[in-house]
Amino acid sequence: MPQVWRRVSDAPRSRWNAGVCVAQRRRGLSEGGAVEVRGHRGCEVIHGIIRRWCFARVTPCGTRRRSMARKRVLVTGMSGLLGTAVRARLEGAHDLTALNRRDVPGTRTIRADIGDFDAIRPAFEGMDVVVHLAGYRGYDWESLLRANIVGLYNVFEASREAGVKRIVFASSGAAFGGWQRQEPYKSIVEGLSGEVPASLPRLGHLTLPRPAGIYGCTKVWGEALAWDYSETFELSIL
């Protein structure tokens, strides 16, 4: 059955390598769910997901076993920080293709903008897994709209059309970061409150999203779209 989790750490522990997830957590703000991963630490989480979950098989009795077969993996935004680190982890073990606006030396690259649906469709044909890392983090609305709204929809729809079964989607702590502006969490983040009371409600994956900025709003949209595609089509999205 298709499944999607709002955060990396919402996935059952057996489906990703908890040992490599060394995510930075703000004290008192997370309870396994609201975790923001950055840079190479984010890569460790993504690599753990791909290695332990995306490339496992489901046996007839419902248990999961590791598949040793090479997978065809499409990585969007491979030239970015996370994309470069993910490439270093997966290269050699699986057949990688980059969907990028510029060439990625040493890797098969399909140059296209994810905001152009017709241009990116051929890249998804024959792929087993799509790792979607491309996006825009800034304040220009037109760029956010093209990359994080239209572009994300294009990636999901092209995956569906091509018969891709699994997508790893990079969301952001910004989808949850607005809580840091509210008391008592604001004082905790700023280090003004001393010890965190044990009775303080923790923010987890069941807490309503409260995005920080327009960028965070686009990531909430992405998570909502992931839910819809997972429940409507035969797509597993993490």
Active site (catalytic) residues: 215
| Beta strand residue intervals within 60-139, DSSP E | 64-66, 72-76, 95-100, 108-111, 129-132
Question: Rounded to the nearest 10 degrees, how much is the dihedral formed by the CA atoms of 132, 135, 137, 142?
Answer: -150
Q: Which helix (H) or strand (E) holds 43?
A: helix 39-49
Among residues 147, 25, 168, 4, the alpha carbon closest in space to that of 86 is found at 168
Residue with tokens 């069941």: 206
Q: How far apart are CA 129 and CA 52, in angstroms?
A: 13
Neighbour count for residue 76 (Cβ, 10 Å): 27
Tokens linked to 61: 């009795």
Q: CB-based burial of residue 106 (10 Å sphere; 0-12 exposed, 13-18 middle, 19+ buried)? A: exposed
